[in-house]
């Protein structure tokens, strides 16, 4: 699950990112409205949730919310702000927000609201991700191949989910770093190679299981079935 945090207070943004990453969400951060709209656009508005502060520079939170709604009517938006009057809440909901949390806030409450919004938005989506005889259940964060459970670390699970949600697509090391590790530079590309190696080994339950992760030298990886 990929979350965009739009928050100009660095301390709050870092607390949210740390908490959400511990819950195995992938997190992007935007420090102002312009950066938020840019990240939304380059990701085709395909985030699973946006946590949006109202009082952000350059483009207001309300305007970001309205822009999201003109492009994607189902993307969950959770407003996070110091504004706490009824009029403020009504204004945010009218702009297209789905929920509203005021500062200061309890992370436990915010986390529960995040889960509720994502569950609500994903009801119509396929519950189980599948390719060949490999299945992944995002609800329970379990993977099975040929009915046998695969024990994965948190990072291996995040990598597998990213692959399975992007089957048949060429994924560069930089894309994987950004979405699985939240890093945006090439200095850690060896980390991707290392974890791909770990994941390949764990996905090979029996000698007859097909390889699903295919390397494109100099380009990246494709997660697909090949004859």
Are 218 and 172 in contact by the 8 Å Cβ rule? The answer is: no
CA dihedral for 116, 120, 121, 126, sign (positive or negative): positive
CA 14 to each of CA 18, 27, 48, 223: distance values in angstroms, whole numbers, following the listed order: 6, 10, 19, 32
CA dihedral for 158, 21, 49, 188, sign (positive or negative): negative
CATH number at residue 16: 3.40.50.2300
> DSSP assignment, residue 31?
S
- Domain assignment of residue 193, given as a range: 129-223
3-state secondary structure of 196: helix
Greater confidence (57 vs 177) lies with 57
pLDDT of residue 125: 53
Final residue of a structural domain among 100, 121, 142: 121
pLDDT digits over 125-153, tens only? 557 899 999 999 887 889 999 999 999 98
pLDDT of residue 167: 92
pLDDT of residue 182: 63
Please tell me whether residues 59 and 156 are part of one structural domain: no
Please tell me whether residues 77 and 145 are part of one structural domain: no
Domain count, the chain: 2
Q: Averaged over 34-55, what is the pLDDT?
A: 92
CA distance linking residue 49 with residue 63, whole number of Å:
17
Please tell me whether residues 211 and 151 are part of one structural domain: yes
pLDDT above 70 (res 25):
yes
pLDDT of residue 139: 75
pLDDT digits over 194-220, tens only? 999 999 999 999 999 999 999 998 889
CA distance linking residue 113 with residue 109, whole number of Å:
6
């Amino acid at each position: 699950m990929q979350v965009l945090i739009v928050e100009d207070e660095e301390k709050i943004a870092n607390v949210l990112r740390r908490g959400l990453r511990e819950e195995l969400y992938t997190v992007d951060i935007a420090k102002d409205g312009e950066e938020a709209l840019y990240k939304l656009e380059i990701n085709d508005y395909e985030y699973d949730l946006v946590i949006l502060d109202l009082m952000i520079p350059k483009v207001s939170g309300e305007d970001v919310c309205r822009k999201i709604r003109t492009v994607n009517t189902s993307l969950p938006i959770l407003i996070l702000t110091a504004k706490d009057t009824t009029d403020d809440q009504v204004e945010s909901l009218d702009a297209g927000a789905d929920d509203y949390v005021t500062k200061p806030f309890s992370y436990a409450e915010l986390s529960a609201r995040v889960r509720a919004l994502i569950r609500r938005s994903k009801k119509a989506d396929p519950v189980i991700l599948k390719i060949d005889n490999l299945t992944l259940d995002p609800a329970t964060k379990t993977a099975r191949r040929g009915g046998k459970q695969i024990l994965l670390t948190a990072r291996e699970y995040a990598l597998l989910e990213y692959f399975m949600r992007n089957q048949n697509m060429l994924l560069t090391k930089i894309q994987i770093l950004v979405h699985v590790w939240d890093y945006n530079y090439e200095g850690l590309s060896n980390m991707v190679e290392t974890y791909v190696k770990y994941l390949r080994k764990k996905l090979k339950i029996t000698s007859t299981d097909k390889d699903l992760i295919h390397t494109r030298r100099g380009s990246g990886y494709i997660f697909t079935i090949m004859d």
